[in-house]
Amino acid sequence: MPDAECQGHGRDILRLLDSYLRYMDNYGGSYRDDDDTLGDFRPLDLRETALMGFGHRNERSFDGVMRMAASQAAYGIDHELTDADCSRWPRPGDPSGRGSRSCSELFRPARHNEAVPEGDTVWRACQRLNDVLAGRVLTRSEFRVPSLAATDLTGVGVREVTSRGKHQLFRLSNELTLHTHFRMDGVWKIFPRGRRWSGGPAFEIRAVLATDDHDVVGYRLPVIELVPTASEDAVIGHLGPDLLGPDWDLDEAVRRIAAQPDRTIGEALLDQRNLAGLGTFYRAELLFLHGVHPRKQVREVRNLRRVVQRGQLLLQANRWRPEQSTTGDLRPGRRAYVYQRLGQPCRRCGTPIRFEELGPPGEERHSYWCPHCQPGPGA
What mean pLDDT is predicted for residues 242-258?
97
Are 232 and 277 in the same domain?
no
Across the chain, what does the average pLDDT equal? 79
Q: Write down the pLDDT at residue 36.
A: 37
Percent of the chain with pLDDT over 70: 69
Are 33 and 93 in the same domain?
yes
Give how many domains the chain has, as a whole number. Answer: 3
The better pLDDT of the pair 226, 2 is held by 226
260 has a pLDDT exceeding 90:
yes
Q: How many CA atoms, within 13 angstroms, populate the side-chain half-sphere of residue 341?
A: 22
C-alpha closest to that of 338 among 318, 316, 313, 355: 355
What mean pLDDT is predicted for residues 204-231?
97
CA separation for the pair 224, 164 (Å, rounded): 15
CATH number for the domain spanning 273: value is 1.10.8.50
C-alpha closest to that of 284 among 27, 55, 6: 55
Q: Is residue 244 part of a domain?
A: no
Q: Write down the pLDDT at residue 88.
A: 52
Are 128 and 231 in the same domain?
yes
For strand 187-192 and strand 214-219, is the pairing parallel, antiparallel, or unpaired? antiparallel
Q: Is residue 208 part of a domain?
A: yes
Strands (E) in 29-124, as ranges, are 37-38
Which pLDDT tens digit goes with each residue over 27-38?
A: 333 323 333 333
Phi first, then psi: give them for residue 365, nearest 5 degrees: -130, 155
- Reported as a pLDDT band with limits 50, 70 and 90, residue 56 is very low
Q: pTM score, two decimals?
A: 0.71
CATH number for the domain spanning 215: value is 3.20.190.10
227 has a pLDDT exceeding 70:
yes
Are 73 and 125 in the same domain?
no
Catalytic residues: 117-118, 166, 365
Which pLDDT tens digit goes with each residue over 128-141?
A: 999 999 999 999 99
Which pLDDT tens digit goes with each residue over 169-200?
A: 999 999 999 999 999 889 999 999 999 999 89
Phi first, then psi: give them for residue 231, nearest 5 degrees: -115, 30
75 has a pLDDT exceeding 50:
no
C-alpha closest to that of 366 among 50, 29, 21: 50
87 has a pLDDT exceeding 80:
no
The better pLDDT of the pair 35, 325 is held by 325
Are 293 and 350 in the same domain?
yes
What mean pLDDT is predicted for residues 107-136?
78
Domain that holds residue 362: 250-369
Are 255 and 350 in the same domain?
yes
The better pLDDT of the pair 14, 52 is held by 14
Helical pair 304-318 and 119-133, crossing angle rounded to 10 deg: 40
